Amino acid sequence: MSDKVVTRFAPSPTGYLHIGGARTALFNWLYAKHTDGTMLLRIEDTDRERSNDAATAAILDGLSWLGLSWDGEAVSQFERAPRHREVAEELVRMGKAYYSYETPAELEAMREAARAKGLPPRYDGRWRDRDPSEAPAGAKGAIRIKAPTAGETVVHDRVQGEVRFPNKDLDDFIILRSDGNPTYMHAVVVDDHDMGVTHIIRGDDHLTNAARQTVIYDAMGWDVPSMSHIPLIHGADGAKLSKRHGALGVEAYRAMGYLPEALLNYLARLGWSHGDDEIMSIKDMISWFDIGDVNKGAARFDFAKLEALNGVHMRRMSDAELFDIFIATLPYLEGGRRWPRASTTGTRRSCWPRCPA
Ligand code: GLU
């Protein structure tokens, strides 16, 4: 692995860039900037039913407004499906994965049997050691990875510490569906490897995925990137963040008149701190940020604090700067004229799937 840090932000385009996603992007961006590395952007549009281009455009727009620029072109995960297939088939050739042919009814019976014993539903490995010649004629089959059955898989996480997963809880999960499409678990690993990602920084709802993904890395003999699973953002009352708490798309904050600097300052302080410094410029954040300093505990979103920070950042600006921002923001302000969205915002053009040459 090269010494240069490569991070990535990998949103699923199923909705706007919400505040939690924006903070994940910010931490990836800050860490890349702090280490003089790069941040890549991958749109995880493999799930065709849930993904849509309008959401992708909104995500690119939100990142651009915040000034969280990415390096190179955004990568479409869906477009890489042939490569995901290739790696899955390679794992079969290496004897690290196998085709399985159970029917939905067989799978349901397996789940039922596990439930009856009070165990989590897991695949029983019935095709793991069978000869390929036993495959039912004409059946396509899904590819499953041979997960280790004994010992444990350890995720060395820079935020969560060493997290151990007993391998008896990891079953032979599917990496390629019988229709030839990769699962999310597999696509992420192949993409992160091929994109040269050295540091994965994402929400801690992905921590258990990290164990399964480690199984794929190990099977391919690839280096596991450094992992950092950052705590999710909760509302001021400690409950999971909802719209009521401010879990809005970043464009809603633009429409309410928040400055990107203030929002970034606020998001950076959610789960990370630098001494008692509350007010930070983007330059400060870049020079002070380190992923190892992020806290394990859930962060709480507090609108009143954001509001106060916005005021501070506004007062720090000259009238001329503020006026320019006001004019640029006018089309987006709440209740303002519904002008067409600008196609060029912030530091980067928002085009999808790629910018014209
Ligand atoms: N696409 C996933 C999400 O939006 C992120 C996957 C990852 O970062 O590995 O939650």
Query: For residue 209, which atom of ligand 1 is closest to its CA?
Result: 9
**How is the chain split into domains, by residue range?**
6-76+232-332, 78-188
Residues framing ligand 1 (Cβ under 6 A): 10-12, 44, 188, 202, 206
Measured in Å, residue 269 CA sits from the centre of ligand 1 at 22
Task: List, for residues 80-128, the tens digit of each pLDDT value.
Answer: 999 999 999 999 999 999 999 999 999 999 999 988 988 888 899 999 9
Task: Give the CATH superfamily of 78-188.
Answer: Glutamyl-tRNA Synthetase; Domain 3 (3.90.800.10)
Query: For residue 188, which atom of ligand 1 is closest to its CA?
Result: 9
- Average pLDDT in the chain: 91
- Residues 111 and 96: their CA atoms lie apart, in Å, by 24
Pocket test for ligand 1, best of 206, 217, 224, 228 (most atoms within 8 A of CB): 206
| Cβ burial 192-207 (10 Å sphere, 16+ → b, else e) | bbebebbbbbbebebb
Pairing of strands 299-301, 233-235: parallel
Tell me the fold of 6-76+232-332. Answer: Rossmann fold (3.40.50)
Task: List, for residues 197-250, the tens digit of each pLDDT value.
Answer: 999 999 999 999 999 999 999 999 999 999 999 998 998 888 877 777 767 889
Task: List, for residues 282-324, the tens digit of each pLDDT value.
Answer: 999 999 999 999 998 888 888 899 999 999 999 999 999 999 9
User: For 277, what's the count of Cα atoms within 13 Å in the CB-facing half-sphere?
Assistant: 14
3-class SS of residue 159: coil
pLDDT of residue 288: 98
Which whole number is the average pLDDT over 331-351? 51
Residue 249: burial class (beta carbons within 10 Å; 0-12, 13-18, 19+):
buried
- pLDDT > 70 fraction of the chain, expressed in percent and rounded: 92
